[in-house]
Amino acid sequence: MFACSLLSTPAAAESVLANERYSLKNGLDVVLHVDRDLPMVAVNLSYHVGSGHEGQRRGLAHLTEHLMFRGTLDIDDGDYRFLMQDAGARVNASTFYHRTSYYSVLPSNQLALALWLEANRMRRLLPVLDGKKVEEEKQTTTDEWRERISSQRYGESYGELAALMYPGDHPWALATPQQIETLDLDAVIAFVERYHGPENATLVLAGDLPENVHELVRRSFRRCKGGQRPPVPQLSVPAVTAERSYARRDEFAH
């Protein structure tokens, strides 16, 4: 039996590390934090877009996250991970309500490669994006849903809890395989063109940063054309005015 109740909790105090913040001419925000303990660097490029920006095209942010690994005009399909892993990097990505992040940890002498790859897929993804890749990644995201949700103990509770907290068509509820199936190439292209530019992104670099890190960042992203930052959706969070209880009996738990 899985059970929980929804109650408000106080926010934890924030810890702030020493950092430098600035912006490029194309609108890309940059945050730098230096730590010389290890000859490693962490790279995080976050676009300020997530499921809260999808409207009725549910699952679009997560699908786009997958497609960002499928090659560009300069990088063959699948080679992004190969190049990064060959450089000793660990790579991953995640999608949340309000952001989509692509991150890696790698030796600091490989930072230039990581920055070039991120800038390249920011600028050169769409010309090689096609319907076949979209259909393949729709299947992958659906398979992930089944693996992480429907095939896990109490896995479907996550979606049911989200529906309890965010009822109706609220975009913070989880996308279903049926909703993902309705997505197409045109929807992805429009989504990328609107939200995946430098003016809507923040680059965070932390670790053993080289002395010329500012020049590396500028040189890597200078060809990424900026525009006007898209508006932030005005989403209301349903107030929890009383305790809501939820219980589920799951066949996988027995």
Q: Provide the residue ranges of all domains of the chain, joining segments of one domain with +.
A: 18-253
pLDDT digits (tens, 9 = 90+) for 36-66: 999 999 999 999 999 889 888 889 999 999 9
Q: What's residue 239's pLDDT?
A: 74
What is the structure's pLDDT at 2? Answer: 45
Q: What was the pLDDT predicted at 20? A: 97
- pLDDT tens digits for range 201-246: 999 999 999 999 999 999 999 999 999 999 888 777 777 777 777 7
**Per-residue model confidence as pLDDT tens digits over 156-183:** 666 677 667 766 666 666 778 888 999 9
Angle at which helices 111-124 and 213-221 pack, to 10 degrees?
20
- Greater model confidence, 239 or 12: 239
Decide if domain 18-253 falls under CATH 3.30.830.10: yes
- Residue 70: how many CB atoms within 10 A of its CB? 21
pLDDT of residue 1: 47
